[in-house]
Amino acid sequence: MRFLQKLSVVFLAAVGVLIPVVSANAQTSLLLPYKTTAFETSDAGIREAYGRISYKVDYAVDSEIPNTPPHLPSVESSLKSFLRDSVTRAFGGESGNYVLTLSILSGSREIAKKAILSFSYSEKNFLFFTTDSTITGNLSRSGVLTDNFPITASNNVLNTQLRLQKNSTAFVQTETFNDFSEQVSLLSFETLQPALELLPSMQTALGVMSKVVNSNEDVDISNDVAMRFIDTGTDAPSEIIFSVRGSLNRNEPFLNGIDISVTFETERSLYKEFADNKFESVDFARTLPFAVVGVSSASLSFEDAIGAKQYETLRSYLASLQRGTFPADATPNSVCRELWDTLLEFFTINDAPLVYAAYLRRYDFELNTQGAKRQCVERYAQTFKRLGIPSDQIAIQQ
């Protein structure tokens, strides 16, 4: 319920500016150059780390060039020229509201995107809400496209691409666009995390929000570049830079502009006290809040993420434990195996045992029935020991 309330607040903040505009058909594609800057990959194996994709926008200014214009004005002029040329070539120079987006794709499906810059274009002018607003002032300088998903063979390599989209809504500032996009990314997060299935009420709310950030009219600004998190034998990079430069005239490009870097990183654990393949100073009371699913800025708790029918049994077990009773017609083995197996679907092979132990600690009184110590604790003793998980704090004695 708190999640839906948050969606309502974000949506209502911008719904007042939504008005329809005339659409245009995309005419051509534009391919922006990029360069590879790193091939570094984590030494983690499959399901041993989480993926994180971040971006950063830097002003590219060559101070060694004679007669270089002042730094920021030259970047501003270069970017305006690039956007004007892009709108002209891709959409015939049609007036409207545009967004330069950075997208992450799995195959042909877009699973996350952020606006690098949103702008209005009319008769070769750029318009903003205030007369003193500048294009560079509306840039998103850095951010996270997606994170918090265990790396598997199916999501280790993803594609990155710059696009120019024409929106059917009124102008939405870059920051607001990205607030919406973070929430909407949950609709496609199951591509990265197949275990996640949103409740129908969440899907409906997010579907309404998606109309603000999605468009049927977009043009590729770059090729889609395959990138990777861990080394599984591919030669895909882990970091690239797109160089955005406008044209001074037909034959002479601006030497200044912006560079958009994209980095694929890994995180070994959601629980920050993890080093040398062991957890340090484990506090079970602080563990479960780290057990989240979905991109950090729009994440769900584990219990909110198990809404699919296949997790109905586990939901009933947890509901019974929350009421202070051991589940009826269940055994310690069935309860603990259901919890253990489900956690392994959502978290890494290191984090899942920690979250499992935290649940045992939370409900050790309710679980303290005949056979529970052997079936729920001792069965996983070697894993707890390997990871430094203090299972002696779990007060299950029978």
Task: Give residue 128's pLDDT.
Answer: 58
More confident residue, 76 or 67: 76
**Per-residue pLDDT reduced to its tens digit, 261-308:** 999 999 999 998 899 999 999 999 999 999 999 999 999 999 999 999
**Per-residue pLDDT reduced to its tens digit, 49-69:** 999 999 999 998 765 555 455
Q: Which helix (H) or strand (E) holds 243?
A: strand 239-244
Task: Give residue 170's pLDDT.
Answer: 77
Task: Give residue 165's pLDDT.
Answer: 95
Task: Give residue 63's pLDDT.
Answer: 59
Q: Are 281 and 273 in contact (CB under 8 A)?
A: yes
Q: Distance between CA 113 and CA 91 in Å, rounded?
A: 21
Q: Which helix (H) or strand (E) holds 38?
A: strand 34-38
Answer yes or no: is pLDDT of 188 > 60.
yes
Task: Give residue 71's pLDDT.
Answer: 58
**Per-residue pLDDT reduced to its tens digit, 336-382:** 999 999 999 999 999 999 999 999 999 999 999 999 999 999 999 99
Alpha helices by DSSP H, the chain? 2-14, 71-91, 174-184, 200-213, 284-287, 302-305, 312-322, 332-346, 351-362, 364-367, 372, 381-387
Q: Are 100 and 221 in contact (CB under 8 A)?
A: yes
Average pLDDT over residues 319-332: 97
Task: Give residue 290's pLDDT.
Answer: 93
Q: Distance between CA 116 and CA 164 in Å, rounded?
A: 10
pTM confidence score: 0.89
| pLDDT, mean over the chain | 87
Q: Is 251 exposed, middle or buried (0-12, 13-18, 19+ CB in 10 A)?
A: exposed
Average pLDDT over residues 221-237: 92
Answer yes or no: is pLDDT of 393 > 50.
yes
Q: SS3 for 144? A: strand
Structure tokens at 14: 């911008």
Domain ranges of the chain: 2-6+26-267, 274-393
Which residues have CB under 8 Å from 29's CB, separation 6+?
90, 219, 220
**Per-residue pLDDT reduced to its tens digit, 27-39:** 444 688 899 998 9
What are the CA-CA distances from residue 78 to residues 30, 95, 135, 289, 312 (Å)?
A: 16, 20, 11, 45, 56
